């Protein structure tokens, strides 16, 4: 993993931890919509970058992790 990716993930997590529960749910909905669109694009035969699927899945996992952290902190 490159340093650039590590820094991007750190910024993404800082941004997520600064959001409230509604903001996190909105982010999760947006990411799931993007994941769905990627699946539909690949199913219809449109060329898509295969790394995008993994990136979106990772971001969804991070959002869920932050939601669970906030839930257990209460």
Each residue's pLDDT tens digit, 14-48? 888 888 899 999 999 999 999 999 999 988 888 76
Q: Determine the pLDDT at residue 1.
A: 57
Rounded to the nearest 10 degrees, the angle between the axes of helix 51-73 and helix 3-17 is 40
Residue 45 in domain: no
Q: Count Cβ neighbours within 10 Å for each residue of 9-22 and write b for 16 or more, e otherwise.
A: eeebeeebeebeee
> Which domain covers residue 10, as residue numbers?
3-40+50-73
Tell whether the model's pLDDT for residue 4 goes beyond 70. no
Q: How many structural domains compose the chain?
A: 1
């Amino acid at each position: 993993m490159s340093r650039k990716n590590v820094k991007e993930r750190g910024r993404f997590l800082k941004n997520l931890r600064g959001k409230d529960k509604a903001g996190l749910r909105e982010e999760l909905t947006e990411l799931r919509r993007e994941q769905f669109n990627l699946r539909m694009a690949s199913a219809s035969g449109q060329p898509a970058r295969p790394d995008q699927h993994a990136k979106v899945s990772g971001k969804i996992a991070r959002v869920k992790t932050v939601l669970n952290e906030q839930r257990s902190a209460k």
